[in-house]
Amino acid sequence: MTLAVGITVFVLAAFVGFEVITKVPPQLHTPLMSGSNAISGITLVGALLVAGRGDVLSAILGFLAVTFATINVVGGFLVTDRMLEMFGTRRRVSRRRGS
């Protein structure tokens, strides 16, 4: 991938991001942040390649990067799910009786 192609992809994706995000209502901004935060854990892909390389320095940095990015990804999606569970259902009476 050349630099120019990378920049093209970046700019177009940023526009998609702006379009999609501006449609999210303020009520959902916290889940949006934690959810998009989890997506930024995509850097895990890079971390995996580094950690699997075999030399000592890459191994140390790679292991740390995999661990950190996994916290970001797993924790981010889970906590977002926890929040959205509270938002989505039409519960009120039924759920309160249950708890």
97 binds another protein (CB under 8 A): no
In the bound complex, what is the minimum distance in angstroms from residue 26's beta carbon to another protein?
Answer: 5
For residue 90, the SS3 value is coil
Ranges within 5-34 binding another protein (CB under 8 A): 6, 9-11, 13-18, 20-34
In the bound complex, what is the minimum distance in angstroms from residue 8's beta carbon to another protein?
Answer: 10
Closest residue by Cα to residue 14 from 22, 2, 3, 4: 22
Size of the site for another protein (CB under 8 A): 83
- The secondary element (H helix, E strand) that includes residue 89 is none
In the bound complex, what is the minimum distance in angstroms from residue 56's beta carbon to another protein?
Answer: 11
Which amino acid belongs to residue 81?
Answer: D
In the bound complex, what is the minimum distance in angstroms from residue 41's beta carbon to another protein?
Answer: 5
Ranges within 46-85 binding another protein (CB under 8 A): 46-55, 57-59, 61-85
Tell me the C-alpha distance between 75 and 89, whole Å.
22
Closest residue by Cα to residue 80 from 20, 22, 28: 28
